[in-house]
């Protein structure tokens, strides 16, 4: 089911590499393109989150008022959602619709089950002298990641801690990319924040094991998501204050 989408993403990545000459930057460019394509969905998702945060004080009032009657609380809460035209599940559907793209991208950059994805398979098919240049992610003359097909775990095992440090930094950024959006949501209870931090810590193990290309995609996508959330939330607040 994901194979045609995976192939399409790989073809786009190859085209971007032809323009940019670096697969690291091609992954970043591909991430930007995907975020732009998904912008209508992520806009609705962020707007739904903002609306839920806006009405949270009223929801807490209802919970206090009807804390002894669960059925009445459900009825009043549903009524309140309807009166304020808020869909409590509005942020879930866009996320679900994005998942096929995320899975296909992860398969393409990393592994498809136990088999290497299209990208590492293609890199491995290149002549040996061309592989090193194709694998490296560079900013001008500085090599940021010498091999984006490898994970931090693989680099640490193969070449030791010093060689793995850039990968470990990206894994740390990967964990922060999970935590920061959680902490940016106002009105959260301490337990929710703790769960967000715990999730970020757990995702460090995932980031440690997947290829640097996958981590680079996720960090870039998350950074763009945080930027969108800041800009969109401020815009919605201004509209609300103006109204």
> Do residues 155 and 164 make contact, with C-beta atoms less than 8 angstroms apart?
yes
E-strand stretches of the chain: 111-112, 115-116, 137-139, 142-145
Residue 124's region, left for phi above 0, alpha for psi from -120 to 50, else beta, is: alpha
| Structure confidence at residue 44 as a pLDDT band (50, 70, 90) | confident
What is the token pair recorded at 10? Answer: 């790989």
The residues, any chain, with a CB within 8 Å of residue 17's CB and separated by 6 or more, are 23, 26
Report the mean per-residue pLDDT for the chain. Answer: 82
| Structure confidence at residue 17 as a pLDDT band (50, 70, 90) | very high
Asked whether the predicted pLDDT for residue 111 surpasses 70, the reply is: no
What secondary structure does DSSP assign to 167-192, as a single string?
A: HHHHHHHHHHHHHHHHHTSTT--HHH
pLDDT digits (tens, 9 = 90+) for 221-233: 989 988 888 888 8
Block residue for tokens 């190859």:
14
Asked whether the predicted pLDDT for residue 24 surpasses 90, the reply is: yes
Q: Specify the length of the chain in residues.
A: 243
Domain span including residue 36: 3-242
| Structure confidence at residue 194 as a pLDDT band (50, 70, 90) | confident
pLDDT digits (tens, 9 = 90+) for 152-170: 999 999 999 999 999 999 9
pTM of the model as a whole:
0.83
Asked whether the predicted pLDDT for residue 179 surpasses 90, the reply is: no
> Do residues 125 and 181 make contact, with C-beta atoms less than 8 angstroms apart?
no
pLDDT of amino acid 188: 54
pLDDT of amino acid 10: 94
pLDDT digits (tens, 9 = 90+) for 72-98: 777 777 877 777 777 666 666 666 777
- Of the candidates 9, 36, 167, 224, which has an alpha carbon nearest to the alpha carbon of residue 102? 9
- How many domains does the chain divide into? 1
Most confident by average pLDDT, 14-28, 107-121, 125-139: 14-28
The pLDDT > 70 percentage for the chain reads: 88
pLDDT of amino acid 58: 79
Neighbours of 212 (CB within 10 A): 30
Residue 147's region, left for phi above 0, alpha for psi from -120 to 50, else beta, is: beta
Residue 43 CA to residue 50 CA, distance in Å, equals 11
């Amino acid at each position: 089911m994901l194979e045609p989408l995976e192939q399409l993403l790989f073809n786009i990545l190859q085209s971007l590499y032809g323009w940019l000459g670096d697969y690291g930057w091609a992954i970043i460019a591909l991430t930007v393109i995907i975020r732009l394509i998904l912008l209508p969905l992520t806009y609705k998702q962020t707007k739904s989150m903002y609306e839920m945060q806006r009405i949270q004080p009223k929801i807490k009032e209802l919970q206090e008022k009807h804390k002894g009657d669960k059925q009445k609380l459900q009825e009043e809460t549903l009524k309140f959602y309807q009166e304020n035209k808020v869909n409590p599940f509005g942020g879930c559907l866009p996320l679900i619709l994005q998942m096929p793209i995320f899975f296909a991208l992860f398969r393409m950059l990393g592994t498809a089950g136990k088999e290497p994805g299209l990208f590492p398979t293609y890199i491995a098919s290149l002549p040996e002298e061309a592989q090193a240049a194709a694998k490296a992610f560079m900013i001008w003359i500085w090599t940021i990641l010498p091999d984006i097909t490898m994970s931090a775990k693989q680099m640490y095992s193969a070449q030791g801690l010093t060689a793995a440090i850039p990968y470990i930094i990206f894994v740390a950024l990967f964990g922060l990319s999970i935590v920061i959006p959680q902490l940016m949501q106002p009105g959260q209870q301490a337990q929710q924040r703790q769960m967000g931090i715990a999730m970020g810590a757990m995702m460090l193990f995932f980031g440690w094991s997947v290829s640097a290309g996958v981590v680079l995609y996720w960090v870039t996508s998350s950074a763009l998501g945080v930027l969108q959330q800041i800009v969109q939330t401020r815009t919605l607040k201004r509209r609300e204050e103006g109204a």
